[in-house]
A and B are shown apart, each in its own frame.
Chain A
Amino acid sequence: MTTEIEELYQEVILDHSRRPRNFGDLADAAVRVHGDNPACGDEIHLGVKFDGNGGLEDIKFTGRGCAISQASASLMTMKLKGKSRAEVMEMLRAFHDLVTEETNEAPKTLGDLRVMRGVRKFPQRVKCAMLAWRAVEQALELGAGEATISTEPA
Chain B
Amino acid sequence: MIVSVTLEKSSFKKAPHRFEAGTPNIAGAIGLAAAIDYIERIGRAAIFEHDSQLAHYAVERFKELPGMHVLGPTEERGALVGFVMDAAHPHDLTTFADQYGLALRGGHHCNQPLMRRFGVSGTSRSSFYFYNTMEEIDRMIEILRAAVRFFS
Q: What's the tally of chain A residues with a CB closer than 8 Å to chain B?
A: 19
Q: A126 to chain B: closest CB distance in Å? A: 12
Q: B129 to chain A: closest CB distance in Å? A: 24
Q: Are A2 and B107 in contact (CB under 8 A)?
A: no
Shortest Cβ distance from B89 into A: residue:
A66
Residue ranges of A at the interface with B (Cβ–Cβ < 8 Å)? 2, 4-5, 8-9, 14, 39-42, 64-68, 122, 124-125, 128
Q: Are A122 and B95 in contact (CB under 8 A)?
A: yes
Q: Are B91 and A4 in contact (CB under 8 A)?
A: no
Chain B contact residues (Cβ within 8 angstroms of A): what range? Answer: 10 to 19
Q: Are B121 and A4 in contact (CB under 8 A)?
A: no
Q: Are B121 and A67 in contact (CB under 8 A)?
A: no
Chain B residues with Cβ below 8 Å from A65 are: 89, 121
Q: Are A41 and B92 in contact (CB under 8 A)?
A: no
Chain B residues with Cβ below 8 Å from A67 are: 88-89, 92, 151
| Residues 97-137 (chain B) with a chain A CB within 8 angstroms | 99-100, 106-108, 112, 115, 121-122
Q: Which of A4, A5, A41, A125 contacts B108 (CB 8 A)?
A: A41
Q: A11 to chain B: closest CB distance in Å? A: 11
